[in-house]
Amino acid sequence: MALDRLLTTSVRALVLVAGMAAVVLPVFAQTPVAIPGTFAENPIVYFVVTDRFYNGNPANDESYGRHREKTPKDDVGTFHGGDLKGLTLKLKEGWFRDLGVNALWITAPYEQIHGWVQGGQKEFKHYAYHGYYALDYTVLDKNMGTPEELRELVDTAHAQGIRILFDIVMNHPGYLDIQTAKDMKIDVLWPDWEKDSNLLRNYHNFIDYNSEKFGDWWGRPWVRAGLPGYMDGGRDDLTMQLAYLPDFRTESTEAVKLPKFLKEKADTKAVDLPNTTVRGYLIKWLTDWVREFGVDGFRCDTVKHVEPAAWAALKAEAAKALAEFKAKNPTRKVDDAPFWMVGEYWGAGPAKHKLTGFGFDAMINFDFQQQEGDYAKPEKLFRGYAKEQAGRPVHMLNYLSSHDTELFERERLIEGGSALLLAPGGVQIFYGDETARPLGVVPRTDPQQATRSDMNWASPDAKVLAHWRKLGRFRARHRALATGEHKQLGDAPYTFSRVEPASGDRVVVALGAKGAVSLPVAGVFEEGQTVLDAYTGRTAKVVGGKVALQAEQTVLLERVQVETH
């Protein structure tokens, strides 16, 4: 890792005893001994709902005729303007680098349904701003930006050692909404829907659900949809229609042709492929993003609703695609690490998941947010997670807040951030947890929408941000935090060590430490060794197996190298 990414302190003078004389020498730089590990050994993933982050190009805000609503309660499910250009601007400002982030998980940027469906119980207009209602997997959604802007985003991230992960869905495409039906010339609409003053409430009255024209959409060979000419959804996880969405028949061995709407869509890159199944098309479309732009990994949605063989096939083809990109673009890659995949298998915990044998490197750990213990002294959690992780590579991705569950308590983000950023396993930072982004408007029948509020650029919590940055950069330097052996060293203040034997990486951390403290470090740091508290920038020596220093809430001890200038 480059020195400019490390916390560096300077000692203005050093007293050297030569015989009986004390000699003052010039500046010595003290640099942390950094052992960051590979990405698979220490993933620090920042998950951003792109549309809610930063508007880098206002000119694309109302693509496909989309528009915002006048009141906050009506506007909760619209596109708000965040885009790929906005992410690139924040990359260039160093926002993610300052947090120690080494991967950026972005919501699916490919084209979504154009209009909206009823949100909650007819409460609001629900657009596909989150990327889970795909229309065309082969082109970018115009609200997200252009191919040139995606290429700039990936290249800018790679130049900083940050990977790009796409959120992807193989279980389902989006609904057929009224606007998309009009735009794709799928003739299932009754007249005068555009004149209705209360379309939100009367939405379904303007769709002819008995029309055979629904066959011009995806069609029977592609999806289960319970519409005229389609199969009904099944009753098991693999064949059900999740939230009434059309279910891709990824298990089918039947070769299919492009659906009519895609064949006639002017800007699509989709073409008929010989002897190709639904699964084959989806894999081709998704891995083309890897092959062309150098996307480094996928976060896979609704994993339990797609057969394991499909995920294994996706991983194999994505790995080939990334290897091709790196061979053709050696100056644009982060490194030679293989393609990485993490899955959202609802309810999965910290234990190594059965689907790691089907292409997944890690699973999102739903257990972490559910912990009811005191995050200010998370010994039980840390000890249990270290036992489950038991070395590398990382197989769990912990999170504090989520777009699908809830935001962690805003007033506890200091202690919550400590627990997350110091926990064994991998880290998933949800955008705005580092700034105490407030909860948005809460729809009565869909409270998850409130977790996806706009990033609070105008009012970040400076104390929370400083804390998360210090811990994030510290974690980025030490793979021992992710995969090391955990040991409690003290109770008041709560102190622990994390040591990774294979690399020799080692740290000591104290939480709730204030004022003058003496921390036990025997067995981790050697007697007489100089250590740095990365939280305050102060150095100290190990004396009698302890380190005495002035603490400011948190202590992050690491070894230093001393070099003369």
Task: Give the residue, 390 or 335, on which the prediction is more confident.
Answer: 335
Pairing of strands 297-300, 124-126: unpaired
Q: Is the pLDDT of residue 17 over 60?
A: no
Residues 440 and 375 in one domain: yes
Return the pLDDT at 564: 53
Considering the domain boundaries, does residue 399 fall inside one? Answer: yes
Residues with Cβ within 8 Å of 547's Cβ and at least 6 positions away in sequence, in order, are: 508, 518, 519, 521, 525, 531, 540, 541, 557
Average pLDDT over residues 399-408: 96
Return the pLDDT at 374: 77
Residues 470 and 493 in one domain: no
Residues with Cβ within 8 Å of 194's Cβ and at least 6 positions away in sequence, in order, are: none
Considering the domain boundaries, does residue 132 fall inside one? Answer: yes
Considering the domain boundaries, does residue 89 fall inside one? Answer: yes
Considering the domain boundaries, does residue 117 fall inside one? Answer: yes
- Residue 197 CB: number of other CB atoms within 10 A? 7
> How deeply is 444 buried, as exposed, middle or buried, from its count of CB atoms within 10 A (0-12, 13-18, 19+)?
exposed
Return the pLDDT at 191: 95
Backbone angles phi, psi at 210, to 5 degrees: -105, 0
Model pLDDT for residues 54-72, shown as the tens digit of each residue = 999 999 999 999 999 999 9
Average pLDDT over residues 508-535: 97
The Cα 363–Cα 194 span in angstroms is 44
Residues 12 and 66 in one domain: no
Structure token digits, residue 341: 């995949």
The Cα 127–Cα 76 span in angstroms is 10
Average pLDDT over residues 198-218: 97
Structure token digits, residue 346: 């609802």
Structure token digits, residue 348: 């999965």
Q: Which of 439, 456, 480 is the last residue of a domain?
A: 480
pTM, two decimal places: 0.94
Q: Is the pLDDT of residue 141 over 80?
A: yes
Residues 441 and 323 in one domain: yes
Q: Is the pLDDT of residue 1 over 80?
A: no
> How deeply is 3 buried, as exposed, middle or buried, from its count of CB atoms within 10 A (0-12, 13-18, 19+)?
exposed
Residues 63 and 167 in one domain: yes
Number of residues that this document lists for the chain: 565
* CA angle, 175 then 166 then 6, to 5°: 150
Residues 389 and 461 in one domain: yes
Q: Which of 480, 508, 526 is the last residue of a domain?
A: 480
E strand or H helix that includes residue 138: strand 134-140
Q: By residue range, what is the domain housing residue 440?
A: 44-173+298-480
Residues 340 and 417 in one domain: yes
Q: Is the pLDDT of residue 20 over 50?
A: no
Structure token digits, residue 66: 């989309």
Residues 494 and 363 in one domain: no
Return the pLDDT at 26: 36
Return the pLDDT at 376: 80
Lowest mean pLDDT among 388-397, 418-427, 455-464, 522-531: 388-397
> pLDDT tier at 264 (50, 70, 90 boundaries)?
very high
Q: What is the CATH number of the domain that holds 16?
A: 2.60.40.1180
Q: What is the CATH number of the domain that holds 403?
A: 3.20.20.80
Return the pLDDT at 9: 34
Considering the domain boundaries, does residue 223 fall inside one? Answer: no
The Cα 326–Cα 173 span in angstroms is 30
Considering the domain boundaries, does residue 189 fall inside one? Answer: no
Residues 48 and 104 in one domain: yes
Task: Report how far Cα 236 is from the mean position of its chain's Cα atoms.
Answer: 28
Residue type, 26: P
Alpha-helical regions (H) of 514-560: none
> How deeply is 48 buried, as exposed, middle or buried, from its count of CB atoms within 10 A (0-12, 13-18, 19+)?
buried
The Cα 36–Cα 33 span in angstroms is 10
> pLDDT tier at 6 (50, 70, 90 boundaries)?
very low
Q: Is the pLDDT of residue 4 over 70?
A: no
The Cα 291–Cα 286 span in angstroms is 9
Return the pLDDT at 30: 78
Model pLDDT for residues 419-454, shown as the tens digit of each residue = 999 999 999 999 999 999 999 999 999 999 999 999
DSSP letter assigned to residue 133: S
Residues 306 and 452 in one domain: yes
> pLDDT tier at 25 (50, 70, 90 boundaries)?
very low
Look at the chain and report how many structural domains it folds into: 2
Return the pLDDT at 501: 93
> pLDDT tier at 27 (50, 70, 90 boundaries)?
very low
Return the pLDDT at 377: 84
Residues 324 and 425 in one domain: yes
Q: Is the pLDDT of residue 53 over 50?
A: yes
Please give the mean pLDDT across all residues of the chain. 94
Return the pLDDT at 216: 98
Q: Is the pLDDT of residue 18 over 70?
A: no
Supply the residues annotated as catalytic.
301, 344
Q: Which of 456, 480, 504 is the last residue of a domain?
A: 480
Considering the domain boundaries, does residue 214 fall inside one? Answer: no
Q: Is the pLDDT of residue 388 over 50?
A: yes
Return the pLDDT at 19: 33
Considering the domain boundaries, does residue 240 fall inside one? Answer: no
> pLDDT tier at 563 (50, 70, 90 boundaries)?
low
Residues 433 and 511 in one domain: no
